[in-house]
Structure formats: structure tokens, C-alpha cells
Chain A
Amino acid sequence: MKTDDDLVFRALADPTRRHLLDRLYERDGRTLTELESELEMTRFGVMKHLRLLEEAGLVVTRREGRQKLHYLNPVPIRLIHDRWIDKYRERQVSALANLKSELEETA
């Protein structure tokens, strides 16, 4: 199942794959050849890592002419964030909003 968090955590658990995501974060929409030139690794090795990132949904590819471009997709990381963090943040935000309205009422 492609939506599994397992795939995301497994994909992120490797420094080479995190490095690939860093490269795409710097500049998105790169070809395999461009990414390969920045890593001391065989083309096959880079392809393997990109495939795991794609399976986890962290990389999305688009065809443009004859080129296959790789894009960083941060949505799976956002989902992990929202799962454990957002409810606390929202509580904090509403607490601040309540404080603001209370202060304004007493002013």
C-alpha cells in the first residue's frame, strides 16, 4: 500500500536518499543524469534510491518531452506532521485567540 507511513520512514532512513531530497529541495525538476552527477554512485544505484523515494510518494516524476523530471513531494511529510503535531498547535492557536479576545474585552 503506497500510502503507508512505513514506506516514508524507510525511504527517509537512508542518508543517500535524504541527500537526494536535499538536492531536489535546492532545485526541483531534475533528471536522473543531473542527480547522478552529484553523487558518487552508479546510475543503477541512484535509480534504485529514486524508485524507493517514488514508492514512498516523496518524489514525483513528470515527463517533459524526452526527459523524466524528478520533483520533491513534501505532502507525505506534512501528513506525518499533521498526524502528531497539528492538534497541539491548533490548541495553542485557539488558546492565544481566546487570550486576545479576553484582553480586548477587558481593555
Chain B
Amino acid sequence: MTTMTEQATQVYSVFIRATPEQVWDGITKPEFTTRYFYGTKIDSTFEPATPYLSVAADGGETLVDGEIIESDPPRILRHTWRSLFDDDTAAEPPSRVTWEIEPQEGGVTKLTVTHDQLEASPKTAAGVAGGWSYVLSGLKTLLETGEPLQG
């Protein structure tokens, strides 16, 4: 069997039958994120150098914090990332997440998430490795069917 080493750069990609604007809304509007992003509300103005927060929809606890680096709707969103839901990962330096949205032929949009600058954050790297697949699968299902994976 192979073993997974923590990857300092992780790339995840999914094709979604939706417009780039719909995908952008799915990423940036709390009414969407609560339905596929571990029940968290996104909280950000998406202005560069302002906070990017992922807040538990029920308790208000901040689970992820970061800062917007770049926002160009509906093409690219880039922000820093710290996983606060675990003391070990919260102590690690911030990493970086880039969402890239590219229209394809036939009404399909390609969404690519690159989580990098994880060299000094191995616990965060291990923690998010399975999570991004779950999140992107959930976002695709929500945008294509109007129904979240859970519930």
C-alpha cells in the first residue's frame, strides 16, 4: 500500500453544469456555503486585504480565517487560509487557496481549487486533503440539482 505524504501544493478540479457567475455565487454567498461547506457561512466583503472567514452557521464560531489576496468575479478568488477548528492547525502559518473559474464548451464551468504554500503547515495539509473533494462534490451537486448532499 502507498502512504500519503502531506502535499505542500494540492490541486482539485471539478466540472459543473452551471455558469461561471453561478459558481462564483456558490463560493461567495453564505446561503450557498452553509449547504455544502461543512455547514459554514462565508463572511467576507471580498475586498483585497480584508478578512475571509468561515463561520459555523449554528454557533458562530470561526472555523477558518484568512485574508483576501485577489478577487476578480467570476474568474478568480485568492485568499489565505488558517484552519482554526483544531489547535494544532491553528498554530501553523497561513497557507493560500486559489479558486479559478473557467467557462468550457456546452454550458459547463471548470472550477479548480489550488491549496498551496503548505510547506510549513503539514497538519493543515493533511487536514484539508480529503476535505476539498467533499466540498467540491457538494458544491457541484448543489448547483446542478439545487439539493445539498446531506439532509
A residues touching B (Cβ–Cβ < 8 Å)?
1-3, 22, 25-29, 57, 60, 62, 71, 73-79, 81-82, 86, 90
Tell me, in angstroms, the Cα distance from A100 to B9 when the chains sit together.
Answer: 39
Q: Using A1-B106, A75-B14, A79-B140 as known contacts, list a sample of 4 further A-B pairs with CB atoms less than 8 Å apart, ordered by residue number in A.
A: A1-B108, A25-B2, A73-B11, A79-B14
How many Å from the CB of A89 to the closest CB on chain B?
9
Q: Is the CB of B15 within 8 A of A57?
A: yes
Q: Does B85 lie at the interface of the complex (its beta carbon under 8 Å from any beta carbon of A)?
A: no
Tell me, in angstroms, the Cα distance from A49 to B126 when the chains sit together.
Answer: 28
Q: Is the CB of B12 within 8 A of A62?
A: no
Q: Is the CB of A25 within 8 A of B4?
A: yes
Q: Is the CB of A78 within 8 A of B137?
A: yes
Q: Is the CB of A86 within 8 A of B5?
A: no
Q: Is the CB of B137 within 8 A of A62?
A: no
Q: Which residues of A contact B137 (CB under 8 A)?
A: 75, 78-79, 81-82
Tell me, in angstroms, the Cα distance from A90 to B106 when the chains sit together.
Answer: 33
Q: Is the CB of A28 within 8 A of B2?
A: no
Contact of B133 among A2, A29, A71, A78 (CB under 8 A): A78
User: In the complex, which residue of chain A has the Cβ closest to the Cβ of B136?
Assistant: A75
Q: Which residues of B contact A62 (CB under 8 A)?
A: 9, 11, 114
Contact of A26 among B2, B15, B17, B112 (CB under 8 A): B2
Residues of B1-39 contacting chain A, CB below 8 A:
2-5, 7, 9-15, 17
User: In the complex, which residue of chain A has the Cβ closest to the Cβ of B144?
Assistant: A3
Q: Assuming the A-B contacts A25-B2, A27-B5, A75-B133, are A3 and B13 also in contact, with contact meaning beta carbons closer than 8 angstroms in the complex? A: no
Q: Is the CB of B15 within 8 A of A28?
A: no
Tell me, in angstroms, the Cα distance from A86 to B108 when the chains sit together.
Answer: 24
Q: Assuming the A-B contacts A78-B133, A82-B141, are A71 and B11 also in contact, with contact meaning beta carbons closer than 8 angstroms in the complex? A: yes
User: In the complex, which residue of chain A has the Cβ closest to the Cβ of B113?
Assistant: A75
